[in-house]
Structures are given as structure tokens and as C-alpha cells.
Amino acid sequence: MIKTKLTEMLGIKYPIIQAGMGPHNTTNLAAAVASAGGLGLISSIGMGYLAFMDKPLFGFTEKTPREQMLRSIETVKNMTKKTGGVFGINVPVAVEFQSISKELIEAGLEARETDEEVRRRMKVVVTSAGNPEPFVESIKESGAYHFHVCPSPYHAKKVEGFGTDVVIASGHEGGGHVAHEPVHTMVLLPEVVRTVKIPVVAAGGICDGATLAAALALGAVGVQMGTRFIATKESDFHQPYKNYVVNTKDVRDTVLAKGLFGKIRYMKNPAAIRLWKAEQEGASETELFNLEMAGFAAIDKGDIENSAMAGGEVAGRISDIPTVKELMEQIVKEAEDIIRNRLPKLIV
């Protein structure tokens, strides 16, 4: 058993967080991760799209972001009732999204305030992709822990000063939204750990026991995984998307292109290459947004060639689709073996 500050803080079995992977619906995945002993996160970017799209994507059904957030929290609460699993919400706080961010965070805090079981088990609000300062006070007053995703030691120190509880140091090899500067986890993580006094979680390039053990060795209290959780039986992602992750054989098979909140790392396919080329050729923000939305809509239709599928470089290291429970047990078992048995043999 691996116990860390993260497992003690949240009362979870494993020091593993499932990333919020907007705009995708992660309701079922969050419930599965929570039930298996990790921290499951409800992703909310797709809920935000309800505010300005004619047709909801990825299984979201409610009319407003607030209604969808409340529905998703209720669903995860009910799905994890028997296990008592711990979960949270992930909300981007980019300037372009901030009014919707406020609506989503307020909905999450409302659920905690009005439902005793949610208050006990929805323990975390994760903010990302922007400045969390406007939300720190309300999250703290609610009694929830506030985690923030950071791409640099500078940002980590800044959000520590705001009063956030945990920093998630996210390296450039991760999928989805990434920073403009290509600083990867191996360099980023130990420097963030050195810079701040609050606990640090590693993200970007994590997919197995070896990378969990490495993150712990570099000072992290746990890891956050996104792409690895896409390829699980319970994840909300469509089967062709899961298959594409598994069939990606090269860690170089991703591409960076402009997204709604900045750069996004996509798995390399015709849709992702079109987005990249359009950006290189000077396409307008509107043109890029429309291409991105078309790529997301294609996912719902199972049109894999035209799907804009976010994914990290670790897609090239993933070769199976286990259950969430099997995956997490295997990762921790492998990490324990590395720490207890393999590493001591290297010391003479």
C-alpha cells in the first residue's frame, strides 16, 4: 500500500487522480475511479458549451451548465453510494470562460451546501487553464479542498499565495490543454516541489507504475492521469476513441494545435493535422473554433478520421483497455514492486 499526503488528505486508497478531460463527459469514469479508490473528477468544459451550442455533445442533456453540473454530481453520488467513493469537479477558469466558470463552481458548491452526502464525499474543486484567485475564497469557505493545475513554478508559487491547497504540476507532454512553453514533467515537477510548500501532484506522461514511482521519487504526493483513463472499460469515451488510443504505437504521434483556451495536444489524425495547418496558415479565431467544434462533433458520430481527439504522448505506451479497478491496482502494484524490490538492488 502506498500512503501519501494526498491519500491521507482525501481518505482515498490510491494516490491517483483522474483528470478532468473537457469537453468530454467523465461522469461514469469519475464514479468508477472514485469507487476503485482514487479521486474521480467530473469534467465541466463540455457543460460550458451548453451556453452557446444548439446541440449538446458527449452525452450532456441538461439545458444550462448549472443544471448539468448538478445532474452530474447527483449521478456520481448515486453511483458511488455503496463504495463511499471520493470525487470532485474540474472547472477551467480561463478569461474566455470565466462567467461560465462562476456558474459551474457555484453549482458545485451549492450541491455541497444542500446535500450532506455530497459535502462528505465531493471533497475537491480543481481549477485549471487560468487565474483561480476569484474563486479561492468561496471554495475555501465551502470546506472543499482547492487544487489548481499549473504549468510552471512561477504559477505554482502564485496560486500557493492565493491559498490553494494543492498544486497539480502539468507537464507539456500531457494531452488536451498545455502551456505554450514546452517544459516537460521530468523538469517541471521537481522544481515546483522545490518552489512551494503545499503538496504537489504530478500530471503529464503518467500511465503506469514506473511513472507513478518516478513522480513520488521527484517529490509528488500523487499523480493525475488523463489519457490512460480514456482507454478503460468504464470511461465515457466512445469505443473508436478508446481503440485509437490503444492503436497509437508511437509516442511521437501527437500534434499541438490552437484550441479555445490555447494550445491543445491532439492524437495525430487528419482532423488534428487540419487544425495544425489552419493555425500555421493564419486562420482566424472563429475559423479555428469552428474546425475544433466540427472535430468534437465527429467524435459523437464515430467518425474517427474527422475527430479532434485530445491525447497525451503516453497514448503511444498504452496497449489495453482494462477496467478502472484493474488498471489502478496494477499501477500501484507495479510502483510498489519498483520501490521495494527493484530500486534497492541498484544500490551497492
Q: Residue 22: which residues within 8 A CB-CB, separation 6 or more? A: 43, 44, 45, 46, 48, 90, 92, 176
Question: Could you give the angle at the alpha carbon of 191 between the alpha carbons of 189 and 195, nearest 5°?
Answer: 120
pLDDT value of position 53: 62
CA–CA separation, 262 and 91 (whole Å): 16
Give the residue among 283, 126, 256, 269 at the shortest CA–CA distance from 179: 256
Contact at 8 Å (CB) between 232 and 321? yes
Contact at 8 Å (CB) between 235 and 229? yes
Retrieve residue 305's grid coordinates: 478520421
pLDDT value of position 52: 59
CA–CA separation, 297 and 341 (whole Å): 47
Whether the predicted model's global pTM rises above the 0.75 cut? yes
pLDDT value of position 296: 83
Taking every pair of Cα atoms in the chain, the longest distance, rounded to a whole number of angstroms, is 65
Retrieve residue 66's grid coordinates: 448549472
Reported as a single tens digit per residue, the pLDDT across 65-98 is: 899 999 999 999 999 999 999 999 999 998 777 7
Retrieve residue 106's grid coordinates: 457555484
Retrieve residue 182's grid coordinates: 514546452
Q: How many Cβ atoms sit within 10 Å of the Cβ of residue 12? A: 24
Domain chopping of the chain, boundaries: 5-244+318-339, 249-306
CA–CA separation, 308 and 295 (whole Å): 4
pLDDT value of position 55: 63
- At 123 the three-state DSSP class reads strand
DSSP letter at 19 equals: P
Reported as a single tens digit per residue, the pLDDT across 321-334 is: 999 999 999 999 99
Task: Tell me, rounded to whole angstroms, the distance of Cα 221 from its chain centroid.
Answer: 16
CA–CA separation, 42 and 86 (whole Å): 11
DSSP letter at 128 equals: E
Rg (CA), the chain: 19
Homologous superfamily (CATH) for 5-244+318-339 = Aldolase class I (3.20.20.70)
Cell 496560486 sits on residue: 159
CA–CA separation, 219 and 192 (whole Å): 9
Q: Which residues of the chain have pLDDT under 50?
A: none
Is residue 240 reached through a cis peptide bond, with omega within 30 degrees of 0 on the bond before it? no
CA–CA separation, 12 and 41 (whole Å): 13
pLDDT value of position 293: 82
**Beta strands at 166-170 and 145-150: parallel, antiparallel or unpaired:** parallel
In sequence order, what DSSP letters do the residues of 29-98 get, joined into one string? HHHHHHHHTSEEEEE-HHHHHTTT-SS--TT---SSHHHHHHHHHHHHHHHTTTTT-EEEEEEE--GGGH
